[in-house]
Amino acid sequence: MISTQSFKKFKPLIFLAIIFPSLLWSYQFINGSLGVNPIEKLMDNMGKMALRLIVLTLFISSLSEFKNFRFFIEIRRMIGLFAFFYVSCHFLTYIVLDHFFDITFIFKDIIKRPFITFGFLSFVLLIPLVLTSPKKILKKIGYKVWKKIHYLIYSAAILSSVHFYMLVRANKIEPAIYIFLILVLLIYRLYYKIILPRLVR
């Protein structure tokens, strides 16, 4: 069994591994080696990475409840913050590179196109999680309130996976896998946290 303490040593490595793709893609973008439509590619890559990290945090939450995997909780916050980092890169690519600060257009786009509405809402819902991520704030507001706020991750996860699902034209297998995983993790959590305690009582 890996102890939390020894797992901490891997944190810098995990940090590097997760930040690496964003650096690579930025380099490729500048370098002109991100294909013929680099803006689209950059936006897609950042978005997919964000969604994978969101699913990963959910997975870590459920997995770390098991004794043998408790150490995973050590990296949950980092993964969560990285998910927001990638969501921000994705959104910034859309604002700056795709639409070059055409704010009126972007505003209309968010309202008009459901898939963009969903993506935007997901981004907004992640903000309170980021703001309450420092340990100081957790202590200030108390674990119960903190936990309630952080359940927003499930709404954000569903919204962003549906955002992806609606965007894809034909082969919807990849986004469907994310939706499926998120639902499984959500149902598992609901069962253990809400339904089971009531049954036992």
Partner 1 sequence: MKIFSSEITPYKHYINRRKFIKSSLAAGLVLGTSTTIQANHSSNQNIYANQVDENDSLNSFEEITTYNNFYEFGMGKTDPSENSSNFNPKPWSINLEGLINNPQVLDLENLLQKIAIEDRVYRLRCVEAWSMVIPWQGFPLSELIKIADPLSSAKFIQFVTVFRPDEMPGQKRRLLPWPYVEGLRMDEAMHPLTILSTGLYGHDLLNQSGAPLRLVVPWKYGFKSIKSISSIRFVDKQPEATWSMLAPSEYGFYSNVNNFVDHPRWSQGTERRIGEFKRRKTLMFNGYEEEVSHLYSGMDLRKYY
> Would you count residue 96 as binding partner 1 (CB under 8 A)?
no
Among 170, 198, 200, 201, binds partner 1 (CB under 8 A): 170
Query: In terms of CB distance, is 105 or 192 closer to partner 1?
Result: 105
Residue 110's CB is within 10 A of a number of other CB atoms, namely 14
**CA distance between the termini of the chain:** 33
Q: Select from 82-90, 92-100, 122-130, 141-149 the region that touches partner 1 (CB under 8 A).
A: 92-100
> Would you count residue 112 as binding partner 1 (CB under 8 A)?
yes
Taking the complex as a whole, how short is the minimal distance between the CB of residue 100 and partner 1, in angstroms? Answer: 6
Residue 6's CB is within 10 A of a number of other CB atoms, namely 10
Distance, CA of 6 to chain centre = 26
> Would you count residue 39 as binding partner 1 (CB under 8 A)?
yes
Q: Select from 10-18, 110-118, 121-129, 147-155 the region that touches partner 1 (CB under 8 A).
A: 110-118
Q: Select from 45-53, 127-135, 169-177, 182-190 the region that touches partner 1 (CB under 8 A).
A: 169-177
Among 113, 125, 133, 181, binds partner 1 (CB under 8 A): 113
> Would you count residue 114 as binding partner 1 (CB under 8 A)?
yes
Among 3, 171, 198, 201, binds partner 1 (CB under 8 A): 171
Joined tokens for residue 71: 């150490």
Four-point Cα dihedral 176, 178, 184, 185, nearest 10: -170
User: 152-167 and 143-150 are packed helices; what angle lies between their axes, rounded to 10 degrees?
Assistant: 10
Q: Please give the Cα distance from 15 to 39 (Å, whole number).
A: 25
**What stretches of 60-199 adopt beta strand conformation (E)?**
none
Residue 159 makes CB contacts below 8 A (sequence gap 6+) with: 118, 119, 121, 122, 125
Q: Select from 20-28, 81-89, 166-174, 183-191 the region that touches partner 1 (CB under 8 A).
A: 166-174
- By the criterion CB under 8 A, which residues form the site for partner 1? 35-37, 39-40, 97-100, 105, 109, 112-115, 166-167, 169-171
